[in-house]
Structure 1
């Protein structure tokens, strides 16, 4: 909701009350006017204009400059008509009375404090002409309207600047989250396949080695693109659904299915995390699970399984051929915890930072990035010579 919308509604209410007040003051002091008929006609015109233009004050777009000019001209005309109606200066207030502050405030809401200051000067000049001199009460009233309108105009300018800054920040955040999601999907599928082709081609030799070399070059180029911060334009790139979980060992799409569909129902329907993680068990992977179902929304469960797959890929690539991995699934009252531990050589100090600088963001994007989007956390503990453990925690609330 826009910050200025309540001010436009308040101004609408003020104009209605102000025109009723002006009419009441005129009716109360009617016998004191020397020539009341022009005042009656003016107040009828003022009341009709006020009620006929209420929709004009719904927003800054509806409050056009021609309307503002007509509005303030009507107020100025009422001020200058007052000496004709009140020839002996018996009543005091001008015909439009406090209504004339409405156009000044409308200028403030529409154009800021500069427009408000200009409108206030016009109203002040009209009041001085009506009185024929600068009196204390005239100066006080003009100064009050000027200060109030300028202050409101300044507040409006600050509010609009803040809204624009917030909108830019939200767009940047959305673009960053989309970039991280695309980079994560690319890492879990294309980059791992290219790395596998490079390793297999180099091992086979011959023409396969040339193919592996080309795959390696493409992997390096794609990693540089992913880590450079380039965000694809909407509609120019197609990314897999969050439920399409890449499987371990770099084979895209071999992971478990998170509920059999990409629709909203499939993403929000409860899914047993045990069923997703059990497919990762094998000769080198041991899976320990609770005896009861561990339920999470389909999308959350799929993203958690994808993070586990990324952790197992790291074990497969960096822990060695003889390394063993253990997956432990725990169901706590407020969170689901999955731990992936291996008995490999561990991660050397500074290796994660160096890998990120090289564009290898498997831990940062595929694991920690996924958990951040789910509102959870991923903690990595590695001791050289004793293996590595990744603990992933996903809250049950807010999913």
Structure 2
């Protein structure tokens, strides 16, 4: 059962109650000027109340055709008022023959389409009611009914739309929770079998060497990919878990260490940080060789996230980065420092000849995604390939 169900049942109750009220008014005034026509209108209202109650209870029947028919039937009953009441219309008060029953389609349109559609329905009924009053003898033109119709259509439509959105969010949360439970169940079984076998193949392949070393390297890559798949947890809408993006870089040569809990950042921030890490790893492979070992560490502090990339290479000679900038090779300046600067963060590069290099990236953890998107769009594209050349 959807959250709309209670709304449609409430409208059905309103139809029945307002129908009874219209019947009481008809009997109280002895059928007005045309009793036969008046009771025919009440009969039509009763039949449509029963039919619409059933139709709106079936989800497949709810749609614009039913809403239009509902409005047409209501308008027909409302526009019959001058013919039923005749010369007594102005003397008997301002209430039309259907009385408050005319609000039923307004409520139905509001529940179906929100406050805008509810306001449209209220305007249609209000115009018809105004026409009835203008064409009645000495009938006072009152706007109270129109105001109430608009208030009902807008308020009910707004509440119904909020309820639908809440239901959708709850459904997504339930699906994410179910997916996470299934992932954890699979992880328990895989951890004791597949991951251990892949780790054993990787270790033994490196020990044996030769072709077995290549098999070990491939096994290590598959182990890292599988661990990433099992470790990924859903992040809130519009956000991303930085751990999942960093784990993609894991391989036999690259070790990625992250906290056990998600590092949730705005999606654009997480993507840019991961891209900066990728650029740093590209530099490691370019200057230290494809088999060079590297380590990626991520941690979340108070209001900021820090990711460091370390290697065991020969390090960067003093003045080498400045020389690269002067020669127009802006890999570090654009792919790493430029990206992080656009995020409002900072980059620290620590390197000594013969002792490797550490690139430390620190970004705020609560920066609004919109400002980051503007900064990223404003940053100059590095080149046709989409990747900056290595320093």
- Matching residue within 141, 145, 151 for 2:149: 145
Q: Is the 8 A contact 1:23 1:43 kept in 2?
A: yes
Give SS of 1:92's match: coil
| 1:188-210 C-alpha deviation (Å, 9 max, x unpaired) | 212212332444455567xxx64
Q: 1:67–1:26: structure 2 CA closer, same or farther, 3 Å change rule?
A: same
TM-score normalized with structure 2 length:
0.53
CA distance in 2, matches of 1:59, 1:94: 30
For residue 115 of structure 1, report the CA deviation from its aligned partner.
1.2
Equivalent positions of 1:79-158 (< 5 A) are 79-84=78-83, 85=85, 86-87=88-89, 89-132=91-134, 138-158=142-162
CA distance 1:35–1:191, shift in 2 (3 Å): closer
Q: For residues 70-119 of structure 1, what are the alpha-carbon distances to aligned partners after superposition, in whole Å with 9 as ceiling and x for unaligned?
A: 22212212222111234554253211111111111011111111111111
Q: Does 1:159 align with 2:153?
A: no
Q: Equivalent residue of 2:143, what SS?
A: helix
How is 1:172-183 mapped onto 2 (pairs within 5 angstroms)?
172-183=176-187
Cα distance in structure 2, aligned partners of 1:159 and 1:358: 50
* Alignment correspondent of 1:71: 70
Q: Distance in 2 between matches of 1:217 and 1:358?
A: 6
Report 1:241-256 matches (<5 A): none
For residues 156 and 49 of structure 1, what CA distance do their matches in structure 2 show? 24
* C-alpha deviation, 1:224, in angstroms: 2.8
Quote how far apart the aligned CAs of 1:223 are. 2.5
Q: Distance in 1 between matches of 2:142 and 2:59?
A: 30
**Structure 1 residues 198, 82: CA separation in 2 closer, same or farther (over 3 Å shift)?**
closer
Task: After TM superposition, give the deviation of residue 178 of structure 1 in Å.
Answer: 2.9
Relative distance call for 1:357 and 1:163 in structure 2 (3 A) is farther
Q: Could you report, residue by residue, the CA deviation over 1:311-367 in whole angstroms, capped at 9, with x for unpaired residues?
A: xxxxxxxxxxxxxxxxxxxxxxxxxxxxxxxxxxxxxxxxxx9xx998999x999x9
Measured at CA, do residues 132 and 162 of structure 1 come closer, stay the same or move farther in structure 2, by a change above 3 Å? same
CA distance in 2, matches of 1:194, 1:41: 81
Cα root mean square deviation, aligned: 3.8
Do the aligned partners of residues 188 and 72 (structure 1) sit closer, same or farther apart at CA in structure 2, a change above 3 Å counting?
same
1:242-276 CA deviation, whole Å, 9 max, x = no partner? xxxxxxxxxxxxxxxxxxxxxxxxxxxxxxxxxxx
SS of the residue 2:76 aligns to:
helix
- Asked if structure 2 preserves the Cα contact closer than 8 Å seen for 1:8 and 1:58, the reply is yes
Offset, 1:25: 0.9
Counterpart for residue 53 of structure 1: 52
Q: 1:34: Cα distance to partner?
A: 2.1
Provide structure 1 residue ranges, at least 5 long, that are not aligned to the other structure: 233-352, 369-399
| Residue 198 to residue 136, structure 1, CA distance change in 2 (3 Å) | same
Q: CA deviation at 1:131?
A: 1.0
Q: Residues of 2 paired with 1:38 and 1:229: CA distance?
A: 72
Distance 1:38 1:16 in 2: 20
Aligned-partner Cα distance in 2 for 1:10–1:36: 31
- Decide whether aligned partners of structure 1 residues 69 and 146 sit closer, same or farther in structure 2, where only a CA change above 3 A counts: same
Of the structure 1 ranges 88-97 and 120-129, higher mean CA displacement relative to structure 2 is found in 88-97
Q: Which runs of 5+ in 2 are unaligned?
A: 233-246, 262-391
What is the match of residue 5 of structure 2?
5
Change (3 A) 1:18 1:44: same
2:37 aligns to what? 38
The 1:174/1:364 distance shift into structure 2, 3 A limit, reads farther
Are 1:190 and 2:194 matched, yes or no?
yes
**Taking structure 1 as reference, are residues 160 and 151 closer, same or farther at Cα in structure 2, changes over 3 Å only?**
same
What CA distance in whole angstroms lies between the structure 2 residues aligned with 1:39 and 1:231? 71
1:22/1:99 contact within 8 Å kept: yes
Aligned to 1:16: 16
Q: Secondary structure at the match of 1:170?
A: helix
Question: Is the CA contact 2:118–2:157 (under 8 Å) kept in the aligned structure 1?
Answer: yes
- Any conservation in 1 of the 2:121–2:153 contact (CA below 8 Å)? no
**Paired residues of 1:29 and 1:91 also in contact (CA < 8 A):** no
Q: Distance in 2 between matches of 1:180 and 1:117?
A: 48
Give TM-score, length-normalised by structure 1.
0.52
CA contact (8 A) 1:60 1:110 kept: no
